[in-house]
Amino acid sequence: MANQWRRGRLLTGVAAVAVASLTLAGCGGGSSSGGGSSSGNSRGPITFVTGKDNSGVWAPMIAKWNKAHPKEKVTLKEQTDQADQQHDDIVQHMQAKDPGYDIVTVDVIWTAEFAAKGWLQPLTGQYKFDTNGFLPPTVKAATYNNTLYAAPWASDGGLLYYRKDLVKTPPKTLDQMWNDCKIAKQHNMSCYAGQFAKYEGLTVNATEAMNTFGGQVVDSAGKPTVNSPQNQKGLQMLVDHVKNGDIPKQESTFQEEQGRIAFEAGKFLFMRNWPYCYSLASTEGSSKVKGKFAVAPLPGVNGPGASSLGGHSEAISTYSDHKQTALDFLKYITAPAQQKFIAMKGSLAPVRASLYDDPALIKKLPYLPTLKTAIANAVPRPVTPFYPAVTTAIEDNAFAALWQGKPVSAALSDMQKAMQSASSGS
Amino acid sequence: MAAATVAPAPEKTRKSLRAGEGRRGILLVAPTLVMLAVVILYPLVRAVIQSFQKDEGLNPATGMFVQGGYAGLSNYSHWLLQQCAVAGGGTQPCPEGTLGSQFWGAFGITVFWTVVSVGIEVILGLWFATIMNREFRGRGLVRAAILVPWAIPTAVTAKLWFFIYAYDGVLNHILGFAGIPPQLWTSDTWPARMGVVIADVWKTTPFMALLILAGLQLISKDVYEAAEVDGASRWQVFTQITLPLIKVPLMVAVLFRVLDVMRIFDLPYIMTGGANGTTSLSILVVKQIRQGFNSASALSTIVFIIIALTAFVFVKFLGADVIQRPPGYTKRKWFRRKPPEASQSVEATPEGAEAA
């Protein structure tokens, strides 16, 4: 008895470990290169998939649609509010060719990957989607291989928050901004807060610096071109200002929230962050900078810098049975009325240029004109189906250059090699 | 089967009875075996098969992904030899910024954590268990207090320590009273690694203590009294009596913890996201899943083999008996069906009966 038990338990123990380490791998795989089947009559009820609706805009918009379209009702499926988990959730459903995911909400950085896997319905031919009046970078981010794969829905861009009580006029160029760091020193503050921890935010900040000097990460055909003199200048600038303390050492742990909290505590003169900080810094009880800050476009070499583009697009699944309804719904949620609604109700940045001049909206969101400049000058993060590998290459090497003394030229050369290796298979 | 005809008459009734029992036994365990096959064997085999396939590559003409085809051992050499593909064929050593370049680093740090965390946990666990085993007023309270960290989910523990280590966190605040300037605990390589060790020790020492305590409570008081009569020193009592008698539960506890730490994921993932040299093997697997399943399958197969080997070494050579031996148990009769008490009939049973 004891023997059998012993062996049984040992097997179970080993097996449990096996399960733990392998179920992860087991759920992967499968064919994903094929296109889906589209059926003839493509109208009917659909499911709309999006991350957790923290801004509360979807329920009312969908209710309104369902009232008008009783036969083509939309069901809302909320995922978690973690981007990585949303990504993985979509991947799993698409691999299972699930017709139950009719419209999926795609972060701008996933578009190319999902499109290249054949999961997204190209918005051409009978599914043509008109992007007239949209901010051009938002359309560019939803485009892969010269084909539009998703409808831009909400945008986002980086802004420069500055202390207007200490800096009279916001810096227009990078030189002016770094020069203003002496004001920070006089007031015993740090100068510039960005996102420099090793995570996606570092890719955003590093590519902003590189794009601002005219460099790119991948060219229009998706080939890595990161090892360029322009990128060298951009990354070197960040490294120099880490060295002279304008970007203090604790920023190696800074994500958006750490920066915001430090800026609200009055510890920084400048902060690069997304628009969501605006209302928090103006209203939150713990904010010491209420009424003392303003926003400006990110500074560039001679004028506005190149912000990274954030935001989400909405794409129709190849496996959807009701694509025509899905397309109508995309047109509905990107129409001016709905776009104004998401800005008013959810403080989201619309994708239609005209709304940024709407007086009612500007009253509610005073940073809109600045954000318009930011998004108009924004560069989408590298549009490549290998985005996860590309962002790892940027994060790891930029982090090593900023905080671990790796020479900038070596960092860029490794970035380039790592990206090339990713796009030619492991 | 053949045994039934060969065996002498008096044995016959017992034999056939046992054959029937065996068949019923197989029927009874069949659902479990099927379950195990579905949830363990299938993913395991599937992962191994996948690990010999290349990850999908991009067809440059269409811009669409296509199946990668048979990979041979290239997924394994990618990890073990850190060879990365270069454009136009061939391989090169993986540059920084690829996951391939992180394999041996991740392996090293995982082993480091295993050795250091489990080492500290054994020492602290022994100490805590000894305290909990004593009789004193307020023992219930002490026991409860020691067990609290174990009751907190690991994810919560990780977040808790994340806040403690933050630049504006509790730890820096307390050090501030002592005049020590704020440190970046999770931002430098070694502080971040030790931070994970501290959090892990904090959380799982109670588990260790609990298993050791169970062993301690089985030791009869007589043994200690006898030792006292013989004039043994406290150190002698500990090394000659306590340690040998708790060896089995101790090794089981160590085995569980070693396997736990070797696949550690949530603690470093939440505390540092794998930055600053805190990418464990499991974190590497999860990161690779987003870049290609087949290569991730190869990596998880490697991890599985490493862990299985560790478990094997523990059970076979270090005496981590997952089940307590009954008294009078004779060692290492692996292929017997009956316990040694009934050794005669066991001897008569040919190996073939097992297959029936």
Report the alpha-carbon distance of residue B161 to residue A31 in Å, rounded: 42
Provide the 3-class DSSP secondary structure of residue B275.
coil
B47 with A32: Cβ contact below 8 A? no
CB nearest to B98's CB, from A145, A222, A421: A421
pLDDT, tens digit (0-9, with 9 covering 90-100), for A39-48: 446 899 999 9
Number of CB pairs, chain A paired with chain B, less than 8 A apart: 231
Is the sign of the CA dihedral A50, A52, A57, A59 positive or negative? positive
Q: Percentage of chain A with pLDDT > 70?
A: 90
Q: How many residues does chain B have?
A: 356
pLDDT at A10 (0 to 100): 45
How confident is the model over B29-46, as a mean pLDDT? 92
B66 with A117: Cβ contact below 8 A? no
Report the alpha-carbon distance of residue B279 to residue B273 in Å, rounded: 8
CB nearest to A250's CB, from B167, B275, B289: B167
pLDDT, tens digit (0-9, with 9 covering 90-100), for A159-210: 999 999 999 999 999 999 999 999 999 999 999 999 998 889 999 999 999 9
A26 with B304: Cβ contact below 8 A? no
ipTM score assigned to the predicted complex: 0.74
For residue B147, with 0-12 CB atoms within 10 Å meaning exposed, 13-18 middle and 19 or more buried, which class applies?
A: middle
pLDDT at A34 (0 to 100): 35
pLDDT for residue A31 is more than 60: no
Q: Which residues of B touch A84 (CB under 8 A)?
A: 290
Task: Read off the pLDDT band of B328 (50, 70, 90).
Answer: low
Report the alpha-carbon distance of residue A169 to residue A173 in Å, rounded: 12
Neighbours of B224 (CB within 10 A): 14
pLDDT, tens digit (0-9, with 9 covering 90-100), for B132-191: 888 888 888 888 888 899 999 999 999 999 999 887 788 889 988 988 888 778 777 888
A414 with B97: Cβ contact below 8 A? yes
A31 with B46: Cβ contact below 8 A? no
pLDDT at B106 (0 to 100): 94
pLDDT for residue B234 is more than 50: yes
Type of residue numbered B350: P
The whole-angstrom distance between residue B278's C-alpha and the CA centroid of its chain comes to 19
> CA of A134, closest CA in chain B: separation in Å?
25
Closest chain B residue to A261, measured at CA: B168
pLDDT for residue B280 is more than 90: yes
Q: Are B142 and B132 in contact (CB under 8 A)?
A: yes
Q: Are A162 and A296 in contact (CB under 8 A)?
A: yes
SS3 track for chain A: CHHHHHHHHHHHHHHHHHHHHHHHHHCCCCCCCCCCCCCCCCCCCEEEEECCCCCCCHHHHHHHHHHHCCCCCEEEEECCCCHHHHHHHHHHHHHCCCCCCCEEEEECCCHHHHHHCCCECCCCHHHCCCCCCECHHHHHHCEECCEECCEEEEEEECEEEEECCCCCCCCCEHHHHHHCHHHHHHCCCEEEECCCCCCHHHHHHHHHHHHHCCCCCECCCCCECCCCHHHHHHHHHHHHHHHCCCCCHHHHHCCHHHHHHHHHCCCEEEEEECCHHHHHHHHCCCCCCCCCEEEEECEECCCECCCEEEEEEEEEECCCCCHHHHHHHHHHHCCHHHHHHHHHHHCCECCEHHHHHCHHHHHHCCCHHHHHHHHHCCECCCCCCCHHHHHHHHHHHHHHHHHCCCCHHHHHHHHHHHHHHHHCCC
B321 with A6: Cβ contact below 8 A? yes
Residue to substitute from B98, B279, B329, interface A, most A β-carbons within 10 A? B98
pLDDT, tens digit (0-9, with 9 covering 90-100), for A50-74: 998 888 899 999 999 999 999 999 9
SS3 track for B299-334: HHHHHHHHHHHHHHHHHHHCCCCCCCCCCCCCCCCC
Provide the 3-class DSSP secondary structure of residue B278.
coil
A3 with B334: Cβ contact below 8 A? yes
Q: Which residues of A touch B58 (CB under 8 A)?
A: 116, 222, 385-386, 423
pLDDT for residue A311 is more than 80: yes
Report the alpha-carbon distance of residue B314 to residue A14 in Å, rounded: 12
pLDDT, tens digit (0-9, with 9 covering 90-100), for A340-392: 999 988 889 999 999 999 999 999 999 999 999 999 999 988 889 999 999 99
pLDDT at B208 (0 to 100): 92
Beta pairing partners, A272: A160
B64 with A420: Cβ contact below 8 A? no
pLDDT, tens digit (0-9, with 9 covering 90-100), for A280-295: 899 888 899 999 999 9
